[in-house]
Amino acid sequence: MSTTESLPQPYLDVVVQGSGPALLLAHGAGGGIQGNFGLVLDDLARDHTLIGPHYPGAGGSPVAAEPLQLDELADQLVASAVATGHKSFGILGESLGTAVAIRAATRHPERVTALVLTAGFPVADPFLALAAQLIKTLATAEAWGDVARLACVSCMSPADLAEISPADLDVLVAQTQAGMPPGMVDHFDLVSRVDVREDLAQVSAPTLVVAPTGDRLVLPDSSYRLATGIPGARLIELPGAAHVLNEADRATWLRHAREFLSTVSQQSA
């Protein structure tokens, strides 16, 4: 079992908001705290302390000098939370953040009280692996506009895309490109190497798995594998929801996440 002394010195840029029981936020590849959780930060901060570290190359965190390693990233997130004065916390993980959260829960089980895993995967499925490789290839060619187009196609639902005019679609692509962090390629390189399949059976924290059934970047089957592999995990589907949740789907997510966290809190008490 890990101890406080075994944690590294934290160096990630961290967003801290709210007060109350701590929730550690683990964002996705090419994302960030505002990008992944912005729609729910103010609501959750009403009764939780939100701790949101940015991965290397996102937010104010410096770009990594070496390829990212899952163990180190998980330890850094836990160390960031402990540095704010919290000994234990739930973790909300999205996409790549689900693997980070799972690894944190198995390396530091005494600290992780609950997991909410959204659009997650234990290992990259063929579609995600191909998308990660394509992103790295396009980035090498400095075709960042095409990376942004791929992100829009993969992360939004067909229904949401169908409502956007051609002119607005160009604006969306430009905004997506402008929001891509410098560490995006490093993040997707880690996506292509992640494998937490052997971790799943070791997770002892109560877990909620949220599967957006319209996800075209991380296929829903990957979420189902998480729910099947983690003992006692609860599975919730968001019908038709995309990889990046729109406002309506995020509101549904928030209701389920709050209900789950409240139940975990009551059981702990």
**Each residue's pLDDT tens digit, 184-220:** 999 999 999 999 999 999 999 999 999 999 999 999 9
Name residues whose C-beta falls within 8 Å of residue 197's C-beta, 6 or more positions apart in sequence.
122, 123, 229
Asked if the model's pLDDT at residue 3 lies above 60, the reply is no
8 within a domain of the structure (yes/no): yes
Residue range 12-50, pLDDT digits in tens:
999 999 999 999 999 999 999 999 999 999 999 999 999
pLDDT band at 253 (very low <50, low <70, confident <90, very high): very high
CATH number of domain containing 80: 3.40.50.1820
Work out how many domains the chain is built from and give that number: 1
202 within a domain of the structure (yes/no): yes
pTM: 0.95
The angle, 0 to 180 degrees and rounded to 10, between the axes of the packed helices 96-107 and 184-193 is 60
146 within a domain of the structure (yes/no): no
Q: Are 78 and 175 in contact (CB under 8 A)?
A: no
82 within a domain of the structure (yes/no): yes
108 within a domain of the structure (yes/no): yes
138 within a domain of the structure (yes/no): no
Q: Which pLDDT belongs to residue 266?
A: 77
189 within a domain of the structure (yes/no): yes
Q: Which residues are 92's β-sheet partners?
A: 25, 116
Phi–psi pair at 177, nearest 5 degrees: -65, -40
Rg of the chain, C-alpha, whole Å? 17
pLDDT band at 267 (very low <50, low <70, confident <90, very high): confident
179 within a domain of the structure (yes/no): no
Strands in 162-266 per DSSP E? 207-212, 234-238
pLDDT band at 269 (very low <50, low <70, confident <90, very high): low
Range of the domain at 204: 4-126+184-268
